[in-house]
Structure 1
Amino acid sequence: MINFQKSSIIFGKKVTQESKDAVKVSLGIDKEGGEGTYLGLPECFSGSKVQLLSFIREKLQGRMQGWFTKSLSPGGKETLMKSVAMSLPVYAMSCFRLPKDTCKRITSAMIESWWSNEKDKRKIPWVAWKTLCRQKDLGGLGFRDIGQFNQAL
């Protein structure tokens, strides 16, 4: 069963208006789409992938810098980062190969939230991020390298 009020059609740039109108009439769908999101990702990918996928970093920063993160212990922060920061971009990474700049920005947001308790206030990172990305039995905390994780997906 198709809900025609919720359905929309996406056309390419080279499709003429007459063809668009004919397809809309034959299918019974009036709306043209492409501007919204589906399963958290933009419906249409046009232009820069870096700009389109920048919402991941913004969403990540919003969730990692909430009022409650200031009162978390390091163990609580680790759990929060693994459950939110590591899982938030998984669907996008399973669909697309993220640009290196986007991976760097996501990693930067994770580093910032790990070492800092307040927004726009930086602290000294006492341990390199690559060390924290090692397995726990090798002296790390088990965080995933976003670039490598994206490659694996």
Structure 2
Amino acid sequence: MSSSRRPVEPVFLPRRYGRLAPLSERKSSEGYFGLGVHDTALDEFVQFFGCSKGTFPLAYLGLPIGFNVNTPRNWKPLCDQFRKKFSGWKASLLSIGERYTLLKSVLGSLGIYHLSLFKCLETVFKELEGLRAKCFWGSSDSNKKMHWISWDIALNALENGGIEISSLRALNLGLIFKWVWRFTSCPNTF
């Protein structure tokens, strides 16, 4: 198989992409990262321009870069986002229809960036689905509400006795398989 691809060229990435100031005016705390570059070349670049060298792991657009995604603690930012959107007092002030809408629109799409790139861990799924269930039933840590049906049944389609709340596990697998389909059907896209 002959490869017509060019070798990876060195790339120097600023930690903040939005700044337009020249390198000499940038703050030294921003950090530059080298991809496909030897550490000595990155050190020379950093010393020449008077900026700092960034270290992995880091977060870009909320996504972990350089993290081990097979560790539950690295999914903590996503779980914290869910917790921040859901709080017991908010859920108690909303009707069940409003909680259903909140669940489908906000809590169903909150982690879409994470879930489209990484296969989520089972423990993280359980925690996120638990938070979504608490929100839907209007429960909080101090105030338990009665659950009229099992959460697994609630995730089903109407024909199967559910209320069509989409499963995060199904969303994660669908988004991952979308990438698989894209790579197999359009191999020259990337």
TM-score for the superposition, normalised by structure 1:
0.79
Q: Is the 8 A contact 2:119 2:172 kept in 1?
A: yes
Counterparts of 1:68 and 1:95 in 2: how far apart (Å)?
A: 30
Of 51, 54, 66, 1:30 maps to 51
Identity of aligned residues (%): 22
Paired position in structure 2 for 1:9: 32
Paired position in structure 2 for 1:111: 133
Of 66, 69, 79, 1:57 maps to 79
Q: Give the aligned residue type for 1:83.
A: S
Q: Give the aligned residue type for 1:32.
A: K
User: Relative to structure 1, is the Cα distance of residues 49 and 31 closer, same or farther in structure 2, using a 3 angstrom cutoff?
Assistant: farther
Counterparts of 2:172 and 2:104 in 1: how far apart (Å)?
A: 15
Paired position in structure 1 for 2:6: none
Counterparts of 1:10 and 1:52 in 2: how far apart (Å)?
A: 21
Higher strand share: 2
Higher relative contact order (Cα pairs below 8 Å, separated by 6+ residues): 1
Paired position in structure 1 for 2:13: none
Q: Give the aligned residue type for 1:129.
A: W
Paired residues, number: 149
Paired position in structure 1 for 2:107: 85
Larger Rg computed on CA atoms: 2
List alignment gaps of at least 5 residues for structure 2: 1-18, 176-190
3-state SS of paired residue (2:147):
coil
TM-score for the superposition, normalised by structure 2:
0.65
